[in-house]
Amino acid sequence: MSSSPQIPEPRRFRFPADYSIVVRYVGALVLVVIALAIRMVIAPPEAGLPFVTFLPSAALAAILFGFGPGLLAAALGNVLAAVFYVPSLGGGGFTVVIQAVYFGSAALICWTISYYQQHYRRVLGDLLAANQVLLAGNRVKAARERLLQIDVTCTLQDLLVATLDELEALTDSSIGFYHFVEADQNTIALQAWSTRTAREYCDAQVSDRHYPVDRAGIWAECIQSRLPTIHNDYATAPNRKGLPDGHAKLIRELVVPVLRQGKVVAVLGVGNKLVPYVENDLKAVTEFADMTWDLAERKMATEKLIQRKRDLSRNNEELLASQDSLFHAQQALEKRVEERTEQLRQLAVEATLIEERERQAIAADLHDDLGQALHVARIKLGSLAKGLPEGSVEVSELNGLLADASRSVRSLTAQLSPPVLKDFGLVPAVSWLAEEMRRAYDLRVAVEDDGTVKSLTSAQSALLFRATRELLINVAKHSGTDRAVVRISGQDGWLRMSVEDKGGGMADWRRAITAGNVFGLSSVRERITFLGGDMDVRSCPGQGTAVILTLPLDTAASQTSTVPT
């Protein structure tokens, strides 16, 4: 591991330094000899211009072997010219000048050729290098575009495998892996291997896709250093831990970490390139590791969102199913409540009718039995009084007692089952009740009727009459006033009856009813409710009390109508 990876230059085949020099200089000598042979074949030494023979050989040597061999060729050519051609030209100082000019010209030509040769070689090398960089960049760009295209439709696993396959092609590698690192920085989550790695190399069995960093190979050193790791000779790498059974044989590897907010989140590695990894390989792997993590992170977020939507959809379906079940249960419960309410209403009606029949039966018994007995007793007393002295006090008192008893029986009979209620209806019965209240309790009751026809059942009439009587008795006993008003009206299929007074009122009429301080109101409210009606109490201390009773005139209409206030 190295904190700053050293990228070695690719190895190239080279001659040894001494052997290469010998080859170049021997080549220059051979060119000069060949030039001399050609010159001697095509023209005798006396033909002149000997230097023209060797200038091409010096130039060619400079082109092929460089400035030094070219200069040697020029010098050798100058010597050969002096040996073979100068004597034929007569020698002398002129010949020396010619040789000097020749040698200088040849040297200048060799230097010029060598200079421009090196210049153009550098230019050509730069162009070739730039072209290689451009080609590599185009390959990287094309690979990146392919990944971006498949990212739209593929899964996270497919994206990672495709990335590794592209990097293997870009770096000429045959092994690739991409693993995630947990937030604790101590656990590696195995994610993906390249297609070729999974198919040809790695047969190692993985029982747990999560394992500690300290159990991983030397490729995991980049997690601790947070820097790329390159092992171009894996066999001699220090700290290597060996490979598990079935693992691919490693020759060399390049591993880079992906950093986010100072922590390593993923590791991407390639391996087994035939030649050592270089700077361009490191750049490509680093770029793809970062780009793939961004795509993977977005895809993981998308998959989590999709899963969340699925969970919400499932929860919504379960909720809808639960609501549907609750709805059906509520409907069944409401139906049972309606049935129970109807049963209670029928029971209330039946109880009212039974009570009314009992009252009528008791009234009939009082009238027929006790009333007749009292009447017969008065007749017998009259017959008995004829045989007694006139003005007997005992007879007079007994006759008065019998008369009072007869009146009480008639009053009780009327209260139990007033004939006017059965014969004439509710309103006349309430008017009769007002007169009874004046006589019995000295309570002056005003009865107000709107004159509308009020179709009531026997149970409704009996209940309203009994309720009115109870309310008027409560006014007489508890309100502290001697006046009351009973109002009766019909409206939209409902009968409305109110008993009002201007007495002391009640601070909390509900509590008073519950405590039993207002006799009979609780029972009245229950029966009114069971018959489909309502009872409302409006009371304020010092301002009096108003009790409003409402009942449907038509039982069928009461199921859809609302109670007026």
For residues 141 and 160, membership in a common domain is answered with: no
Instruction: Please give the residue range of the domain that contains residue 124.
Output: 17-145
Does residue 260 carry a pLDDT above 70? yes
Does residue 63 carry a pLDDT above 60? yes
Task: For residues 328 and 273, give the distance between their C-alpha atoms in angstroms, rounded to a whole number.
Answer: 70
189: helix, strand or coil: strand
- The pTM assigned to this predicted structure is 0.42
For residues 26 and 125, membership in a common domain is answered with: yes
Per-residue pLDDT at 410: 62
Per-residue pLDDT at 348: 67
Task: For residues 162 and 173, give the distance between their C-alpha atoms in angstroms, rounded to a whole number.
Answer: 14
Instruction: Calculate mean pLDDT across residues 99-128.
Output: 70
**Domain membership flag for residue 417:** no
CB 279 within 8 A of CB 7: yes
Per-residue pLDDT at 390: 63
For residues 463 and 552, membership in a common domain is answered with: yes
Per-residue pLDDT at 12: 46
Q: pLDDT averaged over the chain?
A: 75
For residues 24 and 141, membership in a common domain is answered with: yes
Give every strand in the sheet of 175-181, ordered side by side: 210-212, 187-193, 175-181, 263-271, 253-260, 229-231
CATH number at residue 525: 3.30.565.10
Per-residue pLDDT at 549: 92
pLDDT in tens, 138-192: 777 777 788 777 777 788 888 889 889 988 888 889 889 888 888 888 888 877 8
**Domain membership flag for residue 349:** no
pLDDT in tens, 188-201: 887 788 888 888 76
Tally of CB atoms within 10 A around 502: 17
For residues 440 and 551, membership in a common domain is answered with: yes
pLDDT in tens, 339-398: 887 777 677 667 766 766 666 666 565 655 666 666 666 676 666 666 666 656 666 777
Instruction: Calculate mean pLDDT across residues 282-286.
Output: 88
Q: What are phi and psi of 447, to 5 degrees?
A: -110, 125
Per-residue pLDDT at 34: 80
Domain boundary among 145, 176, 198: 145
Per-residue pLDDT at 11: 46
The model's confidence at residue 276, banded by pLDDT at 50, 70 and 90, is very high
CA distances from 561 to 111, 189, 333, 530 (A): 121, 70, 22, 16
Task: For residues 154 and 298, give the distance between their C-alpha atoms in angstroms, rounded to a whole number.
Answer: 13
Dmax (CA) of the chain: 220
Task: For residues 182 and 506, give the distance between their C-alpha atoms in angstroms, rounded to a whole number.
Answer: 74
Q: Which tops the pLDDT comparison, 133 or 282?
A: 282
**Domain membership flag for residue 331:** no
The model's confidence at residue 257, banded by pLDDT at 50, 70 and 90, is very high
